[in-house]
Structure 1
Amino acid sequence: MADVDKDKLFAGSIPRFYDMWLVPLIFEPYAADLVGRLDVTSLSRVLEIAAGTGVVTRALAATLPETVDIVATDLNQAMLDHALVVGTKRPVDWRHADAMRLPFEDDSFDAVVCQFGAMFFPEKSKAFAEARRVLRQGGVFIFSVWDHIAENEFADVVTTALAAVFPEDPPRFLARTPHGYHDRQVIERDLARAGFSEPPRFDTVAARSHATSFRLPAIAYCQGTPLRNEIETRDASRLDEATEVAAASIAGRFGTGAVDGKIQAHVVIAVK
């Protein structure tokens, strides 16, 4: 299986490591930001696509009035299974669904939200068109994508470190997929092709990624994302070695205690 085919493969221990290490490291600050952008006074039904292990879902359930129905979907059943185990503050309708073929009627949601999932859609415009189709007129599609990897320090350091471990075939998952869809003109073009006639709003949001140990970001990226699939495809026996090399690189740049690095993302808002 080619690397690009494995970019969407969140299986085995990845969902657990993802939720344990990566969610607090980089996702939680943006989850609160994304949910805070919703106008709760106009909502009765909200759809989340590419919900993963449910970090945004939990924020939605904790923040939105109980009168607002929440439907959370993901293509990867293993991620949904983990989200169900973690649970939410109040009931959520969990669905196994492909963002490019949503199993919902037209004009059935007031808002569609998606945190860091759009980069994984094989056909962005098709997924965006589906989001638009299920939105009611005047409804809002809010999603976030990571900025260029150079603006996200831990991911950049890990990617550079692994190139030294596998110099003939460097693992490029982080640069290729999570940080590979950041060009505003491309995103605006894809939304226009999906039928969004008004130009979207872009907000670039910088934050800080904190970890109590320099090892945690290395474990999070190397073992809690599909980067693990890339490493194990090259040599499964070297996963621990690759993680240690990444950790050493983080320590070399940020120190051997608690570490703090820049993260940056675009939040995109499109109205039907």
Structure 2
Amino acid sequence: MNLARRSMNHPALAAVYERAWRPAAFFAASGRTMETDRRDAVRQLRLGGSKKVLDIACGPGNFTRFLSNTLSGNGFAVGLDYSEAMLARAVLDNTGPRVGYLRGDAARLPFADGTFDAVCCFGALYLIPDPLTAAREMVRVLAPGGRIAISTSHRDDSAFGRFSRVVGGWSGLRVFPSATFPELFTELGLVDVEQQVHRLLQYVSATRPA
């Protein structure tokens, strides 16, 4: 297990991850606040009503609970993570009437095809050992007409982009070229593929045809 993944499994990081570490790190990487990311997630996933939402690599659950608060009726959000420490913090800090948490492997999701109306993974694919398999699994469990949204690392062809790839490799963080996820989503039959790049992060969303 690389340095980055070991850190995510440590209870000390789980305790401060959403309060301090992630907001500071993501603002430095993208120039965006967590509040902006959360609002955009709701917009990109087109949430509301009785939708069923899956949040992959949910960490301590802050995003998952926020997404669940937009739902009504029979709607609910499931946060899935591999880290026991992160899930323990999620249960302590981010429970609610429409949210639940599950330990699982993003590359082998324990759900039937087409289970969820919205599937997301924010700031984690670069940590997952097989990120493209995980992305395919996200599409597999997405219902027809459903929305998928991710945020992950981004590398351009500049000298800085090449340097970020070296640093990422040392720490265990993958750095993805611009085309990786738009091309994968298109290959898997998704439509309305949109991509935004903010500094070192890319945001990609798409729709599974009805």
Question: So what's the TM-score if we normalise by structure 2?
Answer: 0.77
Cα distance between partner residues in 2 of 1:66 and 1:203: 32
How far apart are 1:135 and its partner, in Å?
A: 1.0
Q: Could you say what the CA RMSD is over the residues aligned between the two structures, in angstroms?
A: 3.1
- Aligned AA (1:117): A
Counterpart in 2 of 1:200? 193
Cα distance between partner residues in 2 of 1:36 and 1:69: 17
Gaps of 5+ in 2: 27-32, 157-162
Cα distance between partner residues in 1 of 2:74 and 2:49: 11
User: 1:188 is matched with which residue: 182, 185, 188?
Assistant: 182
Counterpart in 2 of 1:8? 5
- Number of paired residues? 193
Cα distance between partner residues in 1 of 2:144 and 2:34: 30
Q: Which runs of 4+ in 1 moved over 6 A?
A: none
Q: 1:139 to 1:91 in 2, by over 3 A?
A: closer
User: 1:102 is matched with which residue: 89, 93, 109?
Assistant: 109
How far apart are 1:185 and its partner, in Å?
A: 1.2
Question: So what's the TM-score if we normalise by structure 1?
Answer: 0.61
How far apart are 1:70 and its partner, in Å?
A: 1.0
Counterpart in 2 of 1:17? 16
Counterpart in 1 of 2:85? 78
Residues 229-240 of structure 1 mapped to structure 2, 5 A cutoff? none
Cα distance between partner residues in 1 of 2:49 and 2:107: 26
Cα distance between partner residues in 2 of 1:127 and 1:144: 13
Q: 1:50 to 1:28 in 2, by over 3 A?
A: same
Q: Is the 8 A contact 1:43 1:111 kept in 2?
A: no
Cα distance between partner residues in 1 of 2:43 and 2:172: 26
Q: 1:41 to 1:20 in 2, by over 3 A?
A: closer
41-50 vs 107-116, greater mean Cα deviation: 41-50
Q: Which has the larger radius of gyration?
A: 1
How far apart are 1:90 and its partner, in Å?
A: 3.0
Aligned-pair identity (%): 25
Report the secondary structure of 1:196's partner residue: coil
User: 2:63 is matched with which residue: 49, 56, 59?
Assistant: 56
Gaps of 5+ in 1: 150-158, 161-170, 207-262
How far apart are 1:140 and its partner, in Å?
A: 1.3
Counterpart in 2 of 1:37? 44
1:191-248 deviations in whole A, cap 9, x for unaligned?
355x2354721023x4xxxxxxxxxxxxxxxxxxxxxxxxxxxxxxxxxxxxxxxxxx
- Aligned AA (1:86): D
The structure that is helix-richer by fraction is 1
Residues 1-272 of structure 1 mapped to structure 2, 5 A cutoff? 5-9=2-6, 10=8, 11-25=10-24, 26=26, 28-29=34-35, 30-40=37-47, 43-148=50-155, 172-173=167-168, 178=173, 180-181=175-176, 183-192=177-186, 195-198=188-191, 200-204=193-197, 206=198, 265-272=201-208
Cα distance between partner residues in 2 of 1:75 and 1:119: 14
Q: Is the 8 A contact 1:50 1:99 kept in 2?
A: yes
Cα distance between partner residues in 1 of 2:149 and 2:100: 19
Report the secondary structure of 2:45's partner residue: coil
